[in-house]
Amino acid sequence: DTGVSQDPRHKITKRGQNVTFRCDPISEHNRLYWYRQTLGQGPEFLTYFQNEAQLEKSRLLSDRFSAERPKGSFSTLEIQRTEQGDSAMYLCASTQLGQITDTQYFGPGTRLTVL
């Protein structure tokens, strides 16, 4: 168990470009969550998967955002036509549904800066 990992840790891009982030959850965790954290704020829920199924999407997730978890393991979050307002820390978390505990384990995050 190596924890939740995210790649890249930092991404600087120009407005209008597409970016993709990857999250590797704790192995065998069947639930995976994406959150966004802007400066001075707490994380806000974006979407989550149970295995490969995307079960809920926040209204924060505009149609420029898409997330996948094709084999129920790692997940990707893509932002198309980035805007300066997309600059934030993108956090991934995972948990195992069915355990007594409902603890979500967070990765270190990907910090996105849109110029």
We find the least distance from the C-beta atom of residue 41 to another protein, in angstroms, to be: 6
Side-chain half-sphere CA neighbours of 87 within 13 A: 11
102 binds another protein (CB under 8 A): yes
* Residue at token pair 């400066």: 39
Q: Among 8, 15, 18, 41, indicate the residue that binds another protein (CB under 8 A).
A: 41
Considering CB under 8 A, how many residues would be counted as binding another protein? 24
CA distance 44 to 23: 17
Q: Is the dihedral of CA 60, 15, 93, 33 positive or negative?
A: positive
Residues that bind another protein (CB under 8 A): 4, 33, 35, 40-45, 48, 55-56, 91, 93, 95, 100, 102-109
